[in-house]
């Protein structure tokens, strides 16, 4: 088969940028990591980082090997507003995980659990790419939004663990819609129901 | 300091039994693993296994380095019946994990996620030591019990991930009672509320 890919030199540059970015996001978090700093660490011009990866968010998604663009998927879920958002969110989530895209995603969670730096990366990913969008997209009370969104995250991560990683039956082999039907009210309540234990 | 522990020979025997038991539980599952087979693999008499570890259940807890006896803790939670069981279960659970006993427990989850055999062990532990007791202790409909119990497990595991491993805020630093108040209705509904998507 003829080689049609990028020249090795470009591939090396991409890898160097990804390695520098991985370290920067893990050390400084998503918000404080800068393209300029990442470019310096990789020994390239910042323009080259933009050329290969686009903006910081796309670079982060490339580092995380994200199987889908969470912004797009979550945008569709949130577009309908609070009414029925629990069901739309859990269905979208399980549809992605049941697809081939779920394989690298499971690898990401495995890695996050066994390595501190991966856990930091997953935390940044969940916070900057998912929770922040959910809070913003639903116009949640800023005092309540972070707790609501992290409760949602706890149920979603637990479902992933039970279905794909620890494989607890019958969740591991249940039809997707059975899980959607039973978990949707939980997500809905975390996002839109009464919230306890916050100072007001 | 004077040595006051067991003689090394005994320690070696214990370790050999634990290693054989670990492999047997991972390969054959809790139910099918036998003390006789474990003793043979370890090159000792079955009576010695009983002498060191007691019954199969205690041997399994020793292999898992379980920080508490789940049977005792869950028994207390279930003693009050279905009414309020969600709140009692989540409070007991977080109390254990917030204590020093939570440190080895977190190590167990980390290991389960990164190694297939540990995942099998954790699945056996959750199924045989926790879910089965919950289903039995609450007299759940046998058709519904496993799904109810595994939904509970999914929320509990996700809460552990969010609070202690991935450390998603504000769950990571929230007062225990804030989490109890918000998660208890989820556990209660999974155990005692309407269940969707099962053939009847």
At B33, which CATH number? 1.10.10.60
Q: Is residue A198 part of a domain?
A: no
Give residues 27 to 56 of A whose Cβ lies within 8 Å of B: none
CB contact, 8 Å: B107 with chain A? no
More confident residue, A114 or B18: B18
State whether A88 and A15 are in the same domain. no
Mean pLDDT of the B25-50 span: 91
* Helix (H/G/I), strand (E/B), else coil: A167: coil
| Distance of residue B86 Cα from the nearest chain A Cα, in angstroms | 13
| Structural domain containing residue B46 | 8-63
State whether B111 and B147 are in the same domain. yes
| Residue in this structure with the two tokens 């099962």, named with its chain if needed | B198
- pLDDT confidence of residue B155: 96
* Helix (H/G/I), strand (E/B), else coil: B161: helix
State whether A123 and A184 are in the same domain. yes
Q: Is residue A1 part of a domain?
A: no
Which chain B residues are Cβ-neighbours of A169 within 8 angstroms? 127, 146, 150
| Distance of residue A182 Cα from the nearest chain B Cα, in angstroms | 6
Which chain B residues are Cβ-neighbours of A161 within 8 angstroms? 113, 154, 157-158, 161
Give the range among A33-42, A141-150, B3-12 with minimum mean pLDDT: B3-12
Burial bucket for residue B124 (CB in 10 Å: 0-12, 13-18, 19+): buried
CB contact, 8 Å: A176 with chain B? no
**Among residues B63, B87, B103, which one ends one of the domains?**
B63
**Among residues B63, B82, B102, which one ends one of the domains?**
B63
Give residues 131 to 170 of A whose Cβ lies within 8 Å of B: 131, 146-147, 150-151, 153-159, 161-163, 165-170
State whether B113 and B139 are in the same domain. yes
Fill in the DSSP letter of residue A139.
T
Closest by Cβ to A127, choosing from B156, B159, B168: B168
Give the range among A6-10, A82-86, A131-135, B167-171 with minimum mean pLDDT: A6-10
Cβ–Cβ below 8 Å for B197 and A190: no
Mean pLDDT of the A146-166 span: 91
Mean pLDDT of the A12-17 span: 92
Asked whether A97 and A164 are in contact (CB, 8 A), the reply is yes
State whether B126 and B148 are in the same domain. yes
| Distance of residue A4 Cα from the nearest chain B Cα, in angstroms | 36
Mean pLDDT of the B113-134 span: 76
Distance CA A1, CA B121 (A): 45
Instruction: Summarize pLDDT for B53-112 with one digit per residue, the tens.
Output: 999 888 988 887 776 777 788 888 888 889 999 999 999 889 888 887 777 677 767 776
Q: Is residue A2 part of a domain?
A: no
Q: Is residue B111 part of a domain?
A: yes
Q: Is residue B3 part of a domain?
A: no
- Please determine, for residue A8, whether its predicted confidence score (pLDDT) is greater than 60: no
Residue to substitute from B161, B167, B175, B188, interface A, most A β-carbons within 10 A: B161
- Please determine, for residue A64, whether its predicted confidence score (pLDDT) is greater than 80: no
State whether A104 and A188 are in the same domain. yes
* CATH at B157: 1.10.357.10
Residue to substitute from B87, B132, B162, B195, interface A, most A β-carbons within 10 A: B162
CB contact, 8 Å: B105 with chain A? no
- Please determine, for residue A133, whether its predicted confidence score (pLDDT) is greater than 80: yes
* Helix (H/G/I), strand (E/B), else coil: B99: coil
* Helix (H/G/I), strand (E/B), else coil: A130: helix
**Among residues B63, B78, B107, which one ends one of the domains?**
B63
Q: Is residue B200 part of a domain?
A: no
Which chain A residues are Cβ-neighbours of B156 within 8 angstroms? 158
Q: Is residue B199 part of a domain?
A: no
- pLDDT confidence of residue B113: 67
Closest by Cβ to B197, choosing from A162, A168, A178: A178
CB contact, 8 Å: A93 with chain B? no
* Residues A48, A11, B114: CA angle, nearest 5 degrees: 110
Cβ–Cβ below 8 Å for B157 and A166: yes
Which chain B residues are Cβ-neighbours of A196 within 8 angstroms? 178, 181-182
| Distance of residue A16 Cα from the nearest chain B Cα, in angstroms | 26
State whether A137 and A163 are in the same domain. yes
State whether B187 and B111 are in the same domain. yes
Asked whether B59 and B34 are in contact (CB, 8 A), the reply is no
Please give the structure tokens belonging to residue A30: 């998503």
State whether B48 and B144 are in the same domain. no
- Please determine, for residue B31, whether its predicted confidence score (pLDDT) is greater than 90: no
Outline where DSSP puts E strands in chain B: none
User: How far is the first Cα of chain B from the last one, in angstroms, to the nearest whole number?
Assistant: 66
CB contact, 8 Å: A121 with chain B? no
Residue to substitute from B129, B147, B150, B152, interface A, most A β-carbons within 10 A: B150
* pLDDT > 90: percent of chain B: 42
State whether B40 and B89 are in the same domain. no
State whether B179 and B153 are in the same domain. yes
- pLDDT confidence of residue B112: 67
Q: Is residue A3 part of a domain?
A: no
Count of domains forming chain A:
2
State whether A166 and A136 are in the same domain. yes
């Amino acid at each position: 088969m003829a080689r049609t890919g990028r020249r090795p030199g470009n591939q090396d540059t991409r890898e160097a940028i990804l390695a520098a970015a991985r370290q920067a996001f893990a050390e400084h978090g998503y918000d404080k990591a800068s393209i300029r700093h990442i470019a310096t660490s990789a020994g390239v011009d910042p323009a080259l980082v933009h050329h290969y990866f686009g903006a910081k968010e796309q670079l982060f998604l490339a580092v995380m090997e994200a199987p889908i663009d969470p912004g797009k998927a979550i945008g569709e879920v949130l577009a309908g507003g609070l009414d029925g958002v629990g069901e739309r969110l859990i269905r979208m989530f399980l549809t992605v995980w049941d697809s081939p895209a779920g394989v690298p995603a499971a690898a990401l969670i495995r890695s996050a659990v066994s390595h501190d730096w991966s856990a930091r990366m997953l935390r940044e990913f969940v916070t900057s790419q998912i929770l922040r969008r959910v809070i913003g997209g639903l116009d949640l009370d800023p005092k309540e939004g972070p707790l609501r969104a992290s409760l949602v995250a706890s149920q979603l991560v637990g479902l992933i663990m039970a279905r794909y990683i620890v494989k607890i039956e019958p969740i591991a082999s249940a039809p997707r819609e059975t899980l959607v039907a039973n978990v949707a009210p939980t997500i809905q309540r975390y996002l839109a129901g009464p919230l306890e234990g916050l100072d007001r």
